[in-house]
Copies of this chain bind each other. A is one copy, B any other.
Amino acid sequence: MGLHADLREKLISDYGKLSPQMQKAARYILDHPNDVALRSMRALARAADVPPSTVTRLMTAIGVDTWQQFRDHYQNRLLDLPASYANRARETQNVSQDVDRDQHLLESIARTEIDNIDKAFGAELRGRTIDACAAIENARQVFVVGRGAAYPAAYQFAYAYRLFRDNVVLVDGRSGAFGDQLRGINRRDVMIAIGARPYIRDTVRAVDYARSQHCPVIAICDSDVAPIALDAMIKLIVSDKSQSFFQSFTAAVSLVQAIVALLVARGGQKALERIATAEEQLAAFDTYVEDPSPTRNS
């Protein structure tokens, strides 16, 4: 019972007292518990980028004698997981109806969000997304506009894009008026405008100005007839359906990330090198805390 009651909690509580390499292994295990259940110890060590002996040492450090026990624990956990549905049923019975309602609401939100993303990456939009990338690649300067709830998506794009290209302007109206940031915009540039109903006046004004200067517009919005989409070169219509009073910009954020990923993929080696340089700079500025390894997923 209580012996290995919860191996994960043991791992977390002891984490601070472990040596750096063991922490690395422990962290990988905490983040990828299924790997313990399904893969071999050496494979796990490889994935966690530590020598096999570190894994062994980690096990003895947290009081597990053999990998066999360790693996068994995680296998049982994995087998019990599908049963968690039954657990939830039991839990929600005992507790008040409020919790039950909250659970259902969250489920419903999840479904809606997934649906939104699904549509954003639908067949029709994929082609236009690729077109948008081509336009961005050839642009002299990229202006990104998004206010209010759309601001996160705009920021996201600018932030990621800036890591490998420096010809982006995030038009947030913060530093000076809009006019300042849009100065010099012309037909060789491109503007990415993000927004949904209710349309914020500032964004519409920015788009109108861009069009008046013959700058093509990529509109990420909720309708073909949105003010910012009316004369756009490329329209990327994303669903912003939501369970709450507030429209969801999840799909827009996701789409914007995808555009950046696509640009990097098309940029090839050169783009990757630029990113490496940018990351080095950030590290040099002491932006990050420890952990020199780059963002790498298994």
Contacts and interface: CB of A to CB of B under 8 A. Distances in A.
Interface of A: 8, 12, 15-16, 23, 26-27, 30-31, 34, 37-38, 75, 78-80, 82, 84-85, 87-88, 91, 98-99, 101-103, 105-107, 109-110, 113-114, 117-118, 120-121, 123-124, 126-127, 129-130, 133, 148-149, 151-153, 155-156, 159-160, 163, 197-202, 204, 222-225, 227, 230, 240-250, 253-254, 257-258, 260-262, 264-266, 272, 275, 286-291, 293-297
Contacts of A91: 127
B109 A258 contact: yes
Contacts of A265: 101-102, 105, 244
A129 B84 CA distance: 17
Given A110-B120, A149-B156, A245-B264, 15 more contacts: A8-B224, A12-B225, A27-B225, A30-B225, A85-B123, A98-B266, A99-B130, A106-B258, A109-B254, A113-B254, A198-B288, A201-B288, A244-B265, A246-B260, A247-B295
A261 B12 contact: no
10 contacts: A23-B225, A27-B223, A31-B222, A106-B121, A110-B258, A149-B160, A201-B288, A201-B289, A243-B261, A247-B297
A243 to B, nearest CB: 6
B289 A102 contact: no
B200 A287 contact: yes
A197 B283 CA distance: 13
A113 B26 CA distance: 26
A222 to B, nearest CB: 7
Q: Which 4 residue pairs spanning A and B have beta carbons closest together? A: A152-B152, A244-B261, A110-B121, A198-B288
Copy count, this protein chain: 2
Contacts of A261: 105, 109, 242-246
A130 B159 contact: no
